[in-house]
């Protein structure tokens, strides 16, 4: 199978050298193996994203010679390539996960949970969401939805271990007890990054996810989502970030 890889920047800043390098790895891999290089704009964080930054990313990639085979401006069979134009797909995926028992609606108020977390942390205790909304009676849930009560959707993390063979780092495994039932749809009805990235990588038939090391800790949640959706899990290659002389990440 020819590789299908993607570069998926969030347009919250200029393309920095670390992002350009991640794009370059993807581009080289696709070109070397006669594969497809896809550009996808992850703009669901509407407050921090801007169209000026989208244009700057296109211009920077074009200036670097990193041409894309599918994506904005060139189109392709899996468009649209802006996540804000794909919201119905994420919402449908969340509904399917609820229907299959892999996700549940959470009516807890974000501010209340934030206060609980802050209190636990102040007392030096770890805090994970305690799944209290899994015990709500179905007719109670139906009534609250009908009444228009805002709610999030959380993924129900199964017991066990989640592991993947990283093409750079080798085998990496995580104990699921350390993974909280993460939110996939926020109470404002927008998807979180974990859900949108997996829905898109499945639909765009991505074979290798090549991205920065900073995403290693996100990967077990995403592997769980692929498995729950019954989708093949792509290979992952996490490449090092480029750090400044102060050993800190370069900002965008
Ligand atoms: N939009 C994400 C970022 O800019 C990319 C995530 C990914 O490559 O999976 O960090």
Query: Which stretches in the chain have pLDDT values below 70?
Result: 251-252
In the numeric block, the tokens 């407050």 are attached to: 47
Which ligand 1 atom minimizes the distance to the CA of 222? 9
pLDDT of residue 46: 87
Count of H-run helices and E-run strands, the chain: 7, 9
Which ligand 1 atom minimizes the distance to the CA of 211? 8
Strand 183-185 versus strand 208-212 pairing type: unpaired
Q: In 10 A of CB 197, how many CB atoms?
A: 26
Identify whether the C-beta of residue 162 lies closer than 8 Å to the C-beta of residue 179: yes
Q: Where are the beta strands (DSSP E) in the chain?
A: 4-7, 36-39, 103-106, 152-155, 161-166, 170-175, 183-185, 208-212, 235-239
Residue 98 CA to residue 206 CA, distance in Å, equals: 24
For a mutational test of ligand 1's pocket, the pick from 10, 37, 218, i.e. the residue with the most ligand atoms closer than 8 A to its C-beta, is 10
Tell me whether the omega of the peptide bond preceding residue 212 falls within 30 degrees of 0, making it cis: no
**What are the CA-CA distances from residue 192 to residues 43, 49, 142, 154, 172 (Å)?**
11, 15, 23, 10, 23
Note if 114 is an active site residue.
no
For a mutational test of ligand 1's pocket, the pick from 42, 81, 209, 210, i.e. the residue with the most ligand atoms closer than 8 A to its C-beta, is 42
Can you give the length of the chain in residues?
A: 252
Strand 36-39 versus strand 4-7 pairing type: parallel
Spell out the alpha helix ranges (H) of 33-188: 51-64, 87-99, 110-122, 138-146
pLDDT tens-place string over residues 56-70: 999 999 999 999 999
Q: Alpha-carbon torsion 2, 83, 20, 234, what sign?
A: negative
């Amino acid at each position: 199978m020819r590789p299908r890889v993607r570069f998926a920047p969030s347009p919250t800043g200029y393309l920095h050298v670390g992002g350009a390098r991640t794009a370059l790895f993807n581009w080289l891999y696709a070109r070397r193996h006669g594969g497809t290089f896809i550009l996808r704009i992850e703009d669901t964080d509407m407050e921090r994203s801007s169209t000026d930054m989208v244009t700057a990313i296109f211009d920077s990639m074009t200036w670097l010679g990193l041409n894309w085979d599918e994506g904005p401006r060139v189109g392709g069979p899996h468009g649209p390539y802006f996540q804000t134009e794909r919201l119905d797909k994420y919402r449908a995926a969340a509904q399917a996960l609820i229907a299959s028992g892999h996700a549940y609606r959470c009516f807890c108020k974000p501010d209340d949970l934030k206060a609980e977390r802050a209190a636990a942390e102040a007392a030096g205790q770890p805090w994970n969401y305690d799944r209290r909304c899994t015990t709500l009676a179905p007719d109670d849930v139906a009534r609250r939805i009908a009444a228009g009560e805002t709610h999030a959707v959380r993924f129900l993390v199964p017991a066990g271990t989640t592991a993947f063979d990283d093409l750079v780092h080798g085998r990496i495994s995580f104990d699921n007890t350390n993974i909280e039932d993460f939110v996939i749809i926020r109470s404002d009805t927008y998807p979180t990054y974990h859900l949108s990235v997996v829905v898109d990588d499945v639909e765009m038939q991505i074979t290798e996810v090549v991205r920065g090391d900073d995403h290693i800790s996100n990967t077990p949640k995403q592997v769980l989502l692929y498995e729950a959706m019954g989708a093949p899990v792509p290979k992952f290659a996490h490449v090092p970030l480029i750090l400044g002389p102060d050993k800190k990440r370069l900002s965008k």
